[in-house]
Amino acid sequence: MEQKRVLLIAGAGTLGGYTGLELLNMGYHVDCIALEDLVSYNKNYTYIKASVTNELLQDLFSKHHYDCIVDFIHYPDPEFYRNERMKLLLDNTDQLIFLSSYRVYADEQHPVTESAPQLLYTNRDEYFLANEDYAIPKSHNENSLRASGYKNWTIIRPLISFSHYRFDLITQGAASLILRARDHKKTLLPECCRDRAAGVLWAGNSGKLIAHLCCNEKALGEDYTIGTGETHTWGEVAEYYTELTGMEFEWVDIDTYLENATANHYMNRCILMYDRVYDRDVDCSKVLKATGLTAADFLTVKEGITYELNYILDRPDLVARFNTEEAQMVNAKMDRYFEK
């Protein structure tokens, strides 16, 4: 049987890295477009260092037939996706997997299934609908695929997927969770989320699920929430970080949190109020049935956090990447709060 070939677009990050590894384990050849300087030592894995342009894609398609394309790019401009990118990809593969997000779901159905109402249709905040730059464009792009007349697409909606590239606790990321833990500093968290079901998953589990949807005829024309069915509150996830790193948290009201523990931009409030404060108890039976995977195939959230913390023990280069200019600003704000 001829070896199947999969293209990962922007596939060297949190989700793409683990998807590629699982595809290799499954016997596929993988081409990965990425901006990073990466080297492959596997003859079945090819890195292509480049910006993703239509010209680059057309050149690749003239050389190879792709049984599946997994597109990890976020397209905040729905018109560009609909008019410039979507048809090019659909015309040059047997299956296009489009990266949406569980964040498209409103807080109106529990547990959440793939048919749950989306924020695009339930939210009445006109400013949010016009200016939110993640969940709303995802929904518009999903709609473009459905209206395209093509059937060779699959929509995936991953939960928040953490790895050594990123750690997530409500809206706090690695800059707080790793750097503040290292320096024995407390971190602020919003009380409103403490008892809410967390939409969080180890990226290795996400990548395994995505890989098993590749070249999967049952997945054509379908949408899937990428999760394992494991559910914890954000408070429980915080306890894992305390147990594993010793970090301490102080739970505060929304305004105190946004003012002292975020950049306090509009999107910081959107992520908190239109996602993290929602109960993200997700029914993942559809994706498990399509892939044939079971609980025995996955790490738990706690095991995933442990795995990724162990991964960065000897990688100061990864830890240094967390300390961005914005991270320094947010950490300085928290320092001032705790000094009062």
Best CA proximity match to 156, nearest among 52, 89, 70, 231? 70
Nearest-10 crossing angle of helices 234-245, 301-311? 40
Long-range pairs of 119-127 with CB within 8 A, sequence gap ≥ 24: 119/274, 123/274
Two structure tokens written together for 165: 């590239």
- Each residue of 194-250: pLDDT tens digit? 999 999 999 999 999 999 999 999 999 999 999 999 999 999 999 999 999 999 999
Separation of alpha carbons 131 and 134, rounded Å: 9
Helix (H) or strand (E) holding 316: helix 316-321
Cβ proximity of 230 and 301 under 8 Å:
yes
The per-residue pLDDT for 36 is: 87
State pLDDT tens for residues 271-303: 999 999 999 999 999 999 999 999 999 999 999
CA angle 337, 244, 317 (to 5 degrees): 75
Q: pTM for the whole thing?
A: 0.97
DSSP structure string for 142-159: HHHHHTSS---EEEEEEP
Residue 1 has pLDDT above 80, yes or no: no
Cα distance between residue 178 and residue 126, in whole Å: 37
**pLDDT digits over 48-74, tens only?**
999 999 999 999 999 999 999 999 999
pLDDT confidence of residue 239: 98
Please give the single-letter amino acid code of residue 128: F
| Residue 39, pLDDT score | 86
Task: Name the phi and psi angles at 161, rounded to 5.
Answer: -115, 115
Mean pLDDT of the chain: 96
CB atoms within 10 A of CB 184: 9
* 175 pLDDT more than 90: no
Residue partners of 314: CB distance under 8 A and separation at least 6: none
The arithmetic mean of pLDDT across residues 176-188, rounded, is 93
pLDDT band at residue 176 using 50, 70 and 90 as cut-offs:
confident
Q: How confident is the model over 315-332, as pLDDT tens digits?
A: 999 899 999 999 999 999
In which region does residue 229 sit, left (phi positive, over 0), alpha (psi from -120 to 50) or beta (all else)? left
2 band by pLDDT with thresholds 50, 70 and 90: confident
Q: What are the pLDDT digits (tens) for 94-153?
A: 999 999 999 999 999 999 999 999 999 999 999 999 999 999 999 999 999 999 999 999
Among 79, 71, 72, CA closest to 96: 71
Among residues 333, 199, 166, 191, the alpha carbon closest in space to that of 253 is found at: 191
Per-residue pLDDT, 37? 85
What's the pLDDT score for residue 331? 95
Which residue from 159, 154, 161 is spatially nearest to 223, judged by alpha carbons? Answer: 154
What the chain holds in terms of domains, given with CATH numbers, is 5-339 (3.40.50.720)
3-state secondary structure of 319: helix
- Which residues touch 304 (CB under 8 Å, ≥6 apart)? 162, 201, 202, 203, 204, 205
